[in-house]
Amino acid sequence: MALKDILVHIDRTPHCEKRVKIALKIASRQGKELTCLFAQGNAYLEARTSGLEKRRKQHVKTSEKLQARFQLLADEAGVRLHWETTPFDRSDETVTDYLVFYTQHADLVIVGQHDEEVHDGSVPKDLAERLVLETGRPVLIIPYAGTFKTLGKRVVIAWNTARESVRALNDAIPLMQDAKKVKVIAINPREKGKRHGEVPSTDIVRHLARHGIEAQADHFATTGVDEGNLLLNIISDERSDLLVMGAYGHYRFRELILGDVTKEILEHMTTPVLMSH
């Protein structure tokens, strides 16, 4: 089960090249192909309606420059690069619309974590969350802080037997084929509604073994610390380069409502996170 069709979101932020390099690493081990989608809307400083045509031309020029830059990286990695540029629009909402559409036709989408310090309105703050909840595809989110030389070598899986957790684990299997260590973590496994066997996580560890992935089972009870912070501590202790977890959320009166753990990880992630819904 290889990821033949990988999509990475391209913008003009300083963090973009980092996620492109990660996307190329994954593509080089999978189907040797990568689609880059350059999509951004009007920045706050460009909210005026005058000069829109000029900004549309600049949008195309920026895309062409980034394509030339990343094509060199793709050639070095031996990956065939496909480049798409979305139409420029005054609203960042269209960025989400285009990403949702393209993601629904991909095996995996790679996006960046929201960074308030560089946010200029050209990319929606909730882009990653919207993609996870609306596309039915796994979303790999790359933190804006830190550098990541490997991905999928030391993996932590947050396992709670819910549908979202099952989807995330299954979606991550192609990324774990060369893992040196995989740890499946059940937090508060005896809470009502969680369907664990006699020893939490051991059943899903057997399933991973049938896919050629050796994993360890572990479980914790939260005592004085919330689940999100506990996960972040485990990631740090394990020196993990990938967290796999289900994403929990819904819409209420057009407002995006995220689960507490999902929100905590999205705001404070220290390593790439694969989320599925």
Q: Go through the domains of the chain in sequence order and give each one's CATH number.
A: 6-142 (3.40.50.620), 154-276 (3.40.50.620)
- Between 2 and 241, the more confident residue is 241
- Provide the pairing of β-strand 242-246 with 6-10: unpaired
Please state the φ and ψ torsions of residue 231, each to the nearest 5 degrees.
-60, -45
Question: What is residue 47's predicted lDDT score, i.e. its pLDDT?
Answer: 53
pLDDT of residue 5: 96
- Predicted local confidence at residue 215, as pLDDT: 97
Geometric angle at alpha carbon 275, from 271 and 277, rounded to 5°: 165
Residue whose C-alpha is closest to residue 272's, from 107, 108, 116: 108
- Residue 253 — pLDDT band, cuts 50, 70, 90? very low
> DSSP assignment of 123-138, as one string?
S-TTHHHHHHHHHSS-
Residue (of 12, 6, 142, 15) closest to 77 by Cα position = 6
Tokens of 20: 């492109």
CA distance 244 to 11: 25
Q: Which of 114, 155, 131 is nearest to 256 (CA)?
A: 131
Instruction: Convert the pLDDT of each residue in 161-216 to its tens digit.
Output: 889 999 999 999 999 999 999 999 998 887 767 787 777 899 999 999 999 999 99
